[in-house]
Amino acid sequence: MDDGTKSSLSSTTSRTGRKKRPIYACLPCYSRRVKCDHLKPCTPCCLRGTPSRCDFTEDGRDEYMLQSDLIKRLKDECACLESRLAELELLGLGSS
Protein backbone atom coordinates (compact mmCIF):
# COMPACT_ATOMS: atom_id res chain seq x y z
CA MET A 1 0.00 0.00 0.00
CA ASP A 2 2.86 2.36 0.74
CA ASP A 3 4.08 2.04 -2.85
CA GLY A 4 0.74 3.30 -4.17
CA THR A 5 0.78 6.40 -2.01
CA LYS A 6 4.36 7.23 -2.93
CA SER A 7 3.64 7.04 -6.65
CA SER A 8 0.51 9.19 -6.33
CA LEU A 9 2.45 11.82 -4.36
CA SER A 10 5.29 11.89 -6.85
CA SER A 11 2.91 12.29 -9.79
CA THR A 12 1.15 15.15 -8.00
CA THR A 13 4.39 17.03 -7.38
CA SER A 14 5.56 16.52 -10.96
CA ARG A 15 2.32 18.04 -12.28
CA THR A 16 2.62 21.14 -10.11
CA GLY A 17 6.30 21.49 -10.91
CA ARG A 18 5.70 21.80 -14.66
CA LYS A 19 6.91 24.83 -16.49
CA LYS A 20 4.04 26.89 -17.89
CA ARG A 21 4.06 27.37 -21.63
CA PRO A 22 4.06 30.98 -22.81
CA ILE A 23 0.83 32.36 -24.23
CA TYR A 24 1.36 33.44 -27.83
CA ALA A 25 -2.29 34.11 -28.69
CA CYS A 26 -3.77 37.49 -27.84
CA LEU A 27 -5.56 37.61 -24.52
CA PRO A 28 -9.15 37.71 -25.93
CA CYS A 29 -8.46 34.71 -28.21
CA TYR A 30 -6.77 32.86 -25.37
CA SER A 31 -9.71 33.39 -23.03
CA ARG A 32 -12.23 32.44 -25.74
CA ARG A 33 -10.03 29.49 -26.79
CA VAL A 34 -10.12 30.40 -30.46
CA LYS A 35 -7.34 30.28 -33.04
CA CYS A 36 -5.28 33.49 -33.12
CA ASP A 37 -3.24 34.42 -36.21
CA HIS A 38 -0.72 36.46 -34.15
CA LEU A 39 -1.32 39.69 -36.04
CA LYS A 40 -1.90 42.96 -34.20
CA PRO A 41 -4.92 43.31 -34.25
CA CYS A 42 -5.69 39.69 -35.08
CA THR A 43 -8.43 38.59 -37.46
CA PRO A 44 -10.75 37.09 -34.79
CA CYS A 45 -10.66 40.33 -32.76
CA CYS A 46 -11.38 42.35 -35.91
CA LEU A 47 -14.28 40.07 -36.83
CA ARG A 48 -15.70 40.42 -33.32
CA GLY A 49 -15.44 44.20 -33.68
CA THR A 50 -12.99 44.59 -30.81
CA PRO A 51 -9.58 45.29 -32.39
CA SER A 52 -8.71 47.71 -29.59
CA ARG A 53 -8.86 44.85 -27.05
CA CYS A 54 -6.34 42.74 -28.97
CA ASP A 55 -3.34 42.67 -26.64
CA PHE A 56 -0.55 40.19 -26.06
CA THR A 57 1.36 39.06 -22.97
CA GLU A 58 5.04 39.87 -22.60
CA ASP A 59 5.94 36.38 -23.88
CA GLY A 60 3.64 36.73 -26.87
CA ARG A 61 4.86 40.21 -27.86
CA ASP A 62 7.91 38.70 -29.52
CA GLU A 63 5.70 36.46 -31.64
CA TYR A 64 3.07 38.80 -33.06
CA MET A 65 3.44 40.84 -36.22
CA LEU A 66 1.83 44.18 -36.93
CA GLN A 67 -0.60 43.97 -39.83
CA SER A 68 0.98 47.06 -41.39
CA ASP A 69 4.38 45.34 -41.35
CA LEU A 70 2.88 42.21 -42.87
CA ILE A 71 1.15 44.21 -45.62
CA LYS A 72 4.35 46.13 -46.38
CA ARG A 73 6.36 42.90 -46.57
CA LEU A 74 3.80 41.29 -48.88
CA LYS A 75 3.72 44.37 -51.15
CA ASP A 76 7.51 44.38 -51.36
CA GLU A 77 7.56 40.68 -52.18
CA CYS A 78 4.85 41.13 -54.80
CA ALA A 79 6.76 44.01 -56.45
CA CYS A 80 9.92 41.88 -56.52
CA LEU A 81 8.08 38.95 -58.10
CA GLU A 82 6.42 41.23 -60.66
CA SER A 83 9.79 42.66 -61.71
CA ARG A 84 11.27 39.16 -62.02
CA LEU A 85 8.27 38.07 -64.10
CA ALA A 86 8.69 41.11 -66.37
CA GLU A 87 12.38 40.25 -66.84
CA LEU A 88 11.54 36.65 -67.70
CA GLU A 89 8.85 37.73 -70.15
CA LEU A 90 11.33 40.07 -71.89
CA LEU A 91 13.87 37.25 -72.14
CA GLY A 92 11.23 34.90 -73.49
CA LEU A 93 9.96 37.43 -76.07
CA GLY A 94 13.49 38.33 -77.20
CA SER A 95 14.34 34.72 -78.13
CA SER A 96 11.22 34.19 -80.29
Asked if residue 60 is part of any domain, the answer here is: yes
Per-residue pLDDT of the chain (96 residues; tens, 9 = 90+): 555 555 555 555 455 677 777 778 889 999 999 999 888 899 999 999 999 999 887 766 666 677 778 888 999 999 999 999 999 998 886 554
Asked if residue 95 is part of any domain, the answer here is: no
Asked if residue 20 is part of any domain, the answer here is: no
Domain of 42 in residue numbering reads as 27-89
Q: Kindly report the pTM of this predicted structure.
A: 0.47
Provide the 3-class DSSP secondary structure of residue 96. coil
Cα distances (Å, whole numbers) of residue 20 to 7, 16, 33, 39: 23, 10, 17, 23
Q: Are 44 and 9 in contact (CB under 8 A)?
A: no
Q: How many domains does the chain have?
A: 1
